[in-house]
Amino acid sequence: MKFSWFSFDDTAQMDKAFALRQTVFIGEQGFAPEVDRDAEDETALHVLGTDDAGVVYCTARLFSTEPGVWHAGRIAVRRDLRGQGVGRQLMQELARKARALGGKTLELGAQFDKQGFYEATGFTAYGETFLDAGYPHRMMKQEL
């Protein structure tokens, strides 16, 4: 899988990321469209994972919340590729990029039922369960 990093102003890449996010978060999980897109999109670094032909497998975004701390979000993998290591590769790429940018910690707000996946990729849960867009989440972090 190839990973390409881009910013919000790369509209062709953002359109691909938004298309997968819409499929996963709105179509499959039932989130409202206005919940998916937010102001963080405009300043975050975005990534697409693709095959050699450019077919999109996964996407995510990464932004700094404070010096040394990076936040991963909008992590999405095509349904037909889940359980095949794509998500694990995406999480490794997010950690690699955060580390390259001087990050010491990578954090994310995990949907409660996805917590086991993130634990398997090196994250540890902390804090109380909270609602994000009406869905239970838990903060998780990984020291880089």
Q: Tens digits of per-residue pLDDT, 7-58?
A: 999 999 999 999 999 999 999 999 988 889 999 999 999 999 999 999 999 9
Q: What is the pLDDT of residues 81-91, one digit of tens each?
A: 999 999 999 99
Position 92 scores a pLDDT of 98
- When pLDDT is cut at 50, 70 and 90, the band that residue 134 belongs to is confident
Q: Distances in Å between the alpha carbon of 59 and those of 13, 68, 71?
A: 10, 22, 14
Token pair belonging to 104: 């010491």
**Quick check: pTM over 0.85?**
yes
